[in-house]
Homo-oligomer: A and B are copies of this chain.
Amino acid sequence: MDIDRLDLRILAILQKNNRLSNIELADQVGLSAPACLKRVQRLRKEKVIVDDVSIINPKLVGNTLTMIVSVEMDRDQADIYQRFRRSMDQAPEITQCYQVSGNYDFLLVVCVKDIQAYEEFVDRVLHTQLNIRKFHTSVSLRTVKFSTEVDLKGLTKDR
Chain A contact residues, CB within 8 Å of chain B: 1, 3, 8, 11, 14-19, 46-58, 60-63, 66, 68, 85, 88-89, 92-103, 106-107, 109, 111-113, 117, 136, 138-155, 157
User: Which residue of B15, B46, B85 contacts A60 across the interface (Cβ within 8 Å)?
Assistant: B46
Q: Report the 8 A-B pairs with minimum CB-CB distance, sorted nearest first.
A: A102-B138, A14-B54, A97-B144, A92-B151, A97-B145, A99-B142, A51-B55, A98-B140
Cα distance A3–B56 in the bound complex, in angstroms:
13
Contact at A89–B148, with CB atoms within 8 Å? no
A109 proximity list for chain B (CB < 8 A): 96, 98
Given A48-B56, A55-B53, A101-B141: A95 in contact with B147 (beta carbons within 8 A):
yes
Contact at A151–B15, with CB atoms within 8 Å? no
Cα distance A138–B140 in the bound complex, in angstroms:
19
Cα distance A58–B52 in the bound complex, in angstroms:
15
Given A51-B55, A52-B55: A139 in contact with B101 (beta carbons within 8 A):
yes
> How would you classify the secondary structure of chain A's contact residues: helix, strand, loop or mixed?
mixed
Q: Separation in Å of the A65 CB from the closest CB of chain B?
A: 11
Contact at B155–A54, with CB atoms within 8 Å? no
A101 proximity list for chain B (CB < 8 A): 138-139, 141
User: Which residue of B61, B107, B155 contacts A48 across the interface (Cβ within 8 Å)?
Assistant: B61
User: Which residue of B92, B98, B140 contacts A142 across the interface (Cβ within 8 Å)?
Assistant: B98
User: Which residue of B56, B100, B149 contacts A68 across the interface (Cβ within 8 Å)?
Assistant: B100
